[in-house]
Amino acid sequence: MQPLALALILAASPEEAVRIPASTPGTVTLSLPDYNRLLDRASKPARPPEDPPVPAAVSSAAFRLRVDRGVVRGSARLEGEVFRSGLTPVPLLSRGTLLEARAGSELPSLMTDDRGQHALVRGPGPFAITLEWAAPVVVEPGRASFVLPTPTAGSARASLELPGGDADVRVEPGGITRRTSAAGRTMVELTLEPGRAARIWWSVRESVATAARPLRLLSEARTVAHLGEADLRLTTLFDVTVVEGEPERFEITLPAGFEVTSASGSSVEALPERPGVLVLTVTEPSRRRHQFLLALERALPDASTHVEVPLPSLAGAQRETGEVAVAGAGALELVAAEKPPLRRVDVTELAPSLRALAAQPLLAGFRYQARAEPVSLALDVRILLLTFVRVFRDASAY
């Protein structure tokens, strides 16, 4: 066979066309630019493709969990993609008990190291793994909790079913997107922070051991009634002394027509209220003294009205004492009747903590103790500003 001959045709100038003669058998004719291009490619060989930065990635993680008898159990579905060829470890969950793992109809091989559990998935290509998972629930005084290992994924969410019709559920880190209750159970939907274990806890208000013990409470309530031009606001500071037992919750009887605007305390957490009752979960039942602040609000029907205001009270208290102050500002006329067991006192005799709650001048003060039924504050209120405007408008008509 004759050796391959290579002929180069140089153009005289850029404007002149290069004429490439017909190739004779056994020869290849190239233009100078093509020849230079071949030389460049020969001196700079193409780089092989780089490996992906991670062997596999989880795009979404979805949990369906249920709590029963001190154990949380459910399923998790992980979806993602394997980027490398061959068997590749896909990270699953870092804690808890993995009961079963499935990839479609197959059972993938599992491995465990110091970073957690992994499934060996053949790639490259997408995958979907379904896990059966369980973990113990830690029960503490007044609450129960567990830790959900959230894998590193593009998105992570969970649905959780708990015992109790009005459980106060919290998650950190993460958020609650929906909460429903039915048949004595609470269902919540959660959004989780990928790659960070989420601690989920909720109130536990049923304890046979605590319910069997007697409970004796002493309550002191200090209330400020704030009169506005269109509304009436009550601010009550409760000081509860536990004489015997360990309370799991406090129930506050609310006056009719008032709406709860806030409830706070260092040792209590507010639950969704029932009609006429506000439930506060005790987070530290062993404490002998609890303080919490309650704010209520309602609208005044008109500028001149008689108002009967039952004061909020602690249900089940063996004895309750308290003080009431009426505060207001502006052009108003107030008559506060002394109705047993309310006993009128000078506003300077009221407790300093009660006077500190008032944002307006104090107009009247009362004190009460050892009551067997709810106390009502009787007020006759007249807003003089509206009366003056009405008289001025009538006079301007003449």
Complete edge-to-edge strand list for the sheet that includes strand 289-299: 259-265, 289-299, 231-244, 216-227, 319-328, 362-368, 343-345
The whole-number pLDDT of residue 212 equals 47
pLDDT of 237 > 60? The answer is: yes
Write down the architecture of domain 211-385 according to CATH. Answer: Sandwich (2.60)
232-242: b (≥16 Cβ within 10 Å) or e: bbbbbbbbbeb
pLDDT digits (tens, 9 = 90+) for 103-125: 877 777 777 777 777 788 887 88
Q: Which residues contact 365 (CB under 8 A, 6 or more apart)?
A: 323, 324, 325, 326, 344, 345, 346, 347, 349, 350
pLDDT of 385 > 70? The answer is: no
CA–chain centroid gap for 236, Å, is: 27
Written as one string, the DSSP assignment of 304-368 is EEEEEEEPPEETT-SEEEEEEEEEE-SSEEEEE---TT-EEE-GGGS-HHHHHH-SS-EEEEEEE
* Mean pLDDT along residues 293-309: 79
pLDDT digits (tens, 9 = 90+) for 148-177: 888 888 888 999 988 877 778 888 888 888
pLDDT of 21 > 70? The answer is: no
Tell which wins on pLDDT, 183 or 245.
Answer: 245
| Residues 380, 333: Cα–Cα separation, whole Å | 8
Mean pLDDT of the chain: 79
The whole-number pLDDT of residue 292 equals 93
> What is the percent of the chain where pLDDT is above 90?
9
Comparing C-alpha atoms, which of 340, 344, 307 is closest to residue 324? Answer: 344
* Mean pLDDT along residues 139-143: 79
The whole-number pLDDT of residue 334 equals 73
Structural domain spans, the chain: 56-203, 211-385
Q: What are phi and psi of 353, to 5 degrees?
A: -65, -30
* Mean pLDDT along residues 196-215: 67
CA distances from 219 to 184, 296, 344 (A): 31, 19, 20
Please tell me the least confidently modeled range out of 114-118, 252-256, 384-388.
384-388
Tell which wins on pLDDT, 144 or 17.
Answer: 144
The whole-number pLDDT of residue 238 equals 94
- Written as six digits, the tokens of 129 are 């793994």
* Mean pLDDT along residues 311-328: 88
> What is the percent of the chain where pLDDT is above 70?
82
pLDDT of 144 > 80? The answer is: yes
Superfamily of domain 56-203: tricorn interacting facor f3 domain (2.60.40.1730)
pLDDT of 4 > 60? The answer is: no
| Residues 15, 64: Cα–Cα separation, whole Å | 74
* Mean pLDDT along residues 51-78: 85
